């Protein structure tokens, strides 16, 4: 028996377009006699996550029409697709088996995740029963995504006589996720003596990136086939057995490598930017290029995602901008083949200082004047974005967003934040990783002390702890939910821990107004971490 795992990139809400993908891929597999069964990811027809689209009756009706079309048009091959289905008692997250005019079997997801980025209990009711269907004389069990993380659904399928288990997924990426998936699925396979085929979604959806990496494990839990990550792919799995008493086993074959951390994160950023720009219909991207590390990495990601001809860089020097910053920014734009322009902000800055001369009379310059410079840049970039139809990419990193080292309506202004979930230390690692294939980021950018260049001789460490220390405190406080006492007990300096924790807490209001950005950690700002702005905790 040959099963094709179809790792596709659907568009949320595009029911007709997603249905076309299913029909086209299934027909191609049938016509070249590639497989007997084609398996698509979770909520194939709607994309994932469809969120409150699921509350619209018209949306669910369109899904029903798409299912009827699949029933009529899928001929000569069987497909497993995912969709929401309204039934007695509510809405269910369903996997359906369709072929030659029949809806052969259906399975309703039993384990509904309601943590981190997941909110499925808002929309779905849990299923109760296993599903095992016959195909070519074999008994195939079905589960959906989170079901495989719990013991019950796989055990039910095994007890119902499944000889192989298929698990369809919309599992978003974060660092280390592929290893977790493979370890968990391997454990389930060993528990029940069953081969398991795991098919995953691929593509960017708002801040989420789905990394694909579909795979097959044998009954011993060993990964014997694996699709590439971060790209659409078809993984053909042939199942066989040496004797009737032996379990079905996937024949070893294509085994794409698991990417190392920097490579995986970088590919997630590229895919997230590409799909956000293209799926939302922008004419490309524009960003401010400062000569610093954050904008340098963001530019490289944008070019790798969209192509140099679709990216524009704007240099906006101020009275405090070092000549080397302009030189380095121009050099990076040249190396990446990007059109760039220089628009000094001094005339706009002087105009604002003139307008504010009376209310500022008697005061001394402080962070207010620094923020005015950042907002001058924001106005320039947003104007270019509006006029050109290109999305403005912001360049702030997670370390800055965490402690509020960013200007509302200034450098935070924009439509998408590619490195929003990347700590500053990770930004440097990614930049060096990208330079291994081609030195697009000048070495001086990697070596000099980071600075916002909004005041004379300014560096980030004038206001913040060293980034190695800051990022460790932030990792523990944000991603691990550790308290001050726990971090101090681990050897971190108490004064800095308390200062950083206060900065994180008091800047929630800024983060609520920040653009979405690619999620690459297990706890990103946004839907992952929901803290009150006003709190006495």
Task: Give pLDDT, residue 535.
Answer: 86
- Here the tokens at position 121 are 């209990």
Task: Give pLDDT, residue 221.
Answer: 96
Out of 106, 120, 131, 145, the active site residue is 145
Confidence of residue 527 (pLDDT cuts 50, 70, 90): confident
Q: What is the pLDDT of residues 50-100, one digit of tens each?
A: 999 999 999 999 999 999 999 999 999 999 999 999 988 899 999 999 999
Q: Residue 459 above 80 pLDDT? A: no
Task: Give pLDDT, residue 457.
Answer: 72
Tokens 């310059």 label which residue?
365
Counting other chains too, the contacts that 267-270 makes at CB distance below 8 Å and 24 or more residues apart are: 267/211, 267/229, 267/230, 268/173, 268/209, 268/211, 268/230, 268/518, 268/520, 269/301, 269/305, 269/418, 269/419, 269/422, 269/430, 269/518, 269/520, 270/230, 270/301, 270/304, 270/305
Taken in order 13, 19, 22, 28, the sign of the CA dihedral is negative
**Distance of alpha carbon 11 from its chain centroid, rounded?**
14
Q: What is the pLDDT of residues 212-224, one digit of tens each?
A: 999 999 999 999 9
Tokens 């209001």 label which residue?
509
Active site residue 145: yes
Confidence of residue 143 (pLDDT cuts 50, 70, 90): very high
Are residues 235 and 254 in contact, defined by beta-carbon separation less than 8 angstroms?
yes
Side-chain-facing half-sphere of 512: CA atoms under 13 Å:
10
Task: Give pLDDT, residue 246.
Answer: 85
**Distance of alpha carbon 428 from its chain centroid, rounded?**
20
Local structure of 414: helix, strand or coil: coil
Active site residue 131: no
Q: What is the pLDDT of residues 90-127, one digit of tens each?
A: 999 999 999 999 999 999 999 999 999 999 999 999 99
Out of 106, 109, 131, 400, the active site residue is 109
Task: Give pLDDT, residue 171.
Answer: 97
Local structure of 213: helix, strand or coil: coil
Within 8 A by CB and 6+ apart from 236, the residues are 2, 3, 4, 5, 34, 35, 253, 254
Active site residue 508: no
Among 416, 425, 421, residue whose Cα is nearest residue 172 = 421
478: preceding bond cis by omega (within 30 degrees): no
> Could you please report the per-residue DSSP string of 488-504?
HHTT--HHHHHHHHHHH
Confidence of residue 500 (pLDDT cuts 50, 70, 90): very high
Alpha helices of 406-491 — where are they, by DSSP H? 424-437, 443-447, 467-474, 484-489
Q: Residue 455 above 80 pLDDT? A: no
Out of 42, 207, 234, 472, the active site residue is 42
Residue 70, classified by CB atoms within 10 Å of its CB into exposed (0-12), middle (13-18) or buried (19+), is: buried
Task: Give pLDDT, residue 242.
Answer: 82
Task: Give pLDDT, residue 223.
Answer: 97
Greater confidence, 453 or 281? 281
Side-chain-facing half-sphere of 49: CA atoms under 13 Å:
21
Number of H-type helices and E-type strands within the chain: 17, 19
Alpha helices of 80-225 — where are they, by DSSP H? 151-159, 177-192
- Predicted TM-score (pTM) of this structure: 0.95
Q: What is the pLDDT of residues 464-485, one digit of tens each?
A: 899 999 999 999 999 999 999 9
Task: Give pLDDT, residue 458.
Answer: 73
Task: Give pLDDT, residue 245.
Answer: 79
What integer best gives the mean pLDDT of the chain? 95
Q: Residue 452 above 90 pLDDT? A: no
The percent of residues above 70 in pLDDT, for the chain, comes to: 99
Q: Residue 384 above 80 pLDDT? A: yes
The percent of residues above 90 in pLDDT, for the chain, comes to: 91
CA distances 282 to 145, 287, 410, 416, 516, Å, are 32, 14, 21, 12, 16
Question: In the chain, what is the greatest distance between 2 CA atoms, to the nearest angstrom?
Answer: 91
Rounded-to-10 torsion of CA 222, 225, 226, 227: -170
Rounded-to-10 torsion of CA 141, 115, 178, 28: 50
């Amino acid at each position: 028996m040959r099963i094709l795992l179809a790792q596709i990139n659907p568009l949320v809400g595009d029911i007709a377009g997603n249905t076309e993908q299913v029909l086209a891929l299934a027909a191609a597999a049938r016509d070249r006699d590639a497989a007997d069964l084609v398996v698509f990811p979770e909520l194939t027809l709607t994309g994932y996550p469809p969120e409150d689209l699921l509350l619209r009756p018209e949306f669910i009706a369109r899904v029903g029409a798409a299912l009827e079309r699949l029933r009529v048009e899928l001929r000569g091959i069987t497909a497993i697709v995912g969709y929401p289905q309204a039934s007695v008692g509510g809405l269910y997250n369903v996997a359906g088996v369709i072929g030659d005019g029949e809806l052969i079997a259906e399975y309703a997801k039993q384990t509904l995740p309601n943590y981190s980025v997941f909110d499925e209990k808002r929309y779905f009711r849990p299923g109760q029963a296993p599903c095992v269907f016959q195909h070519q004389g074999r008994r195939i069990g079905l589960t959906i995504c989170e079901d495989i993380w719990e013991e019950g659904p796989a055990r039910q399928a095994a007890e119902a006589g499944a000889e192989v288990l298929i698990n369809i997924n919309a599992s978003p990426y974060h660092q280390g996720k592929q290893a977790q998936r493979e370890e968990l699925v391997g454990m389930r396979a060993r528990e029940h003596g069953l081969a398991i085929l795991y098919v995953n979604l691929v593509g960017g959806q708002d801040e989420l990136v789905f990394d694909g990496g579909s795979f097959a494990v044998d009954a011993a839990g060993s990964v014997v086939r694996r699709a590439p990550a971060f790209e659409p792919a078809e993984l053909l799995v042939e199942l066989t057995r040496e004797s009737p008493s032996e379990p079905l086993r996937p024949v070893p074959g294509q085994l794409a490598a698991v990417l190392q951390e920097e490579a995986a994160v970088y590919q997630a950023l590229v895919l997230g930017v590409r799909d956000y720009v293209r799926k939302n219909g922008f004419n490309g991207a524009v960003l401010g290029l400062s000569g610093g590390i954050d904008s340098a990495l963001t530019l490289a990601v944008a070019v790798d995602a969209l192509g140099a001809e679709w990216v524009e860089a704007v240099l906006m020097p101020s009275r405090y901008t070092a000549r080397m910053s302009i030189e380095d920014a121009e050099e990076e734009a040249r190396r990446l083949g990007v059109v760039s322009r220089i628009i000094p902000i001094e005339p706009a800055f002087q105009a604002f200082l003139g307008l504010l001369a009376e209310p500022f009379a008697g005061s001394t310059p402080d962070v207010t004047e620094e923020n005015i410079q950042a907002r001058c840049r924001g106005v320039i970039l947003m104007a270019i974005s509006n006029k050109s139809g290109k999305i403005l990419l912001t360049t702030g990193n997670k370390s800055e967003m965490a402690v509020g080292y960013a200007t509302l309506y200034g450098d935070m202004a924009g439509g998408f934040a590619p490195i929003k979930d990347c700590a500053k230390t990770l930004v440097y690692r990614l930049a060096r990783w990208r330079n291994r294939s081609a030195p697009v980021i000048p070495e001086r950018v990697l070596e000099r002390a980071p600075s916002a260049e909004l005041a004379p001789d300014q560096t980030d460490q004038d206001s913040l702890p060293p980034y190695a220390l800051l990022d460790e405190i932030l990792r523990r406080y944000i991603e691990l939910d550790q308290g001050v006492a726990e971090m101090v007990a681990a050897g971190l300096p108490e004064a800095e821990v308390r200062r950083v924790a206060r900065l994180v807490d008091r800047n929630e209001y800024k983060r609520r107004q920040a653009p979405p950005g690619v999620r690459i950690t297990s706890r990103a700002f946004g839907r992952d971490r929901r803290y009150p702005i006003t709190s006495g905790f």
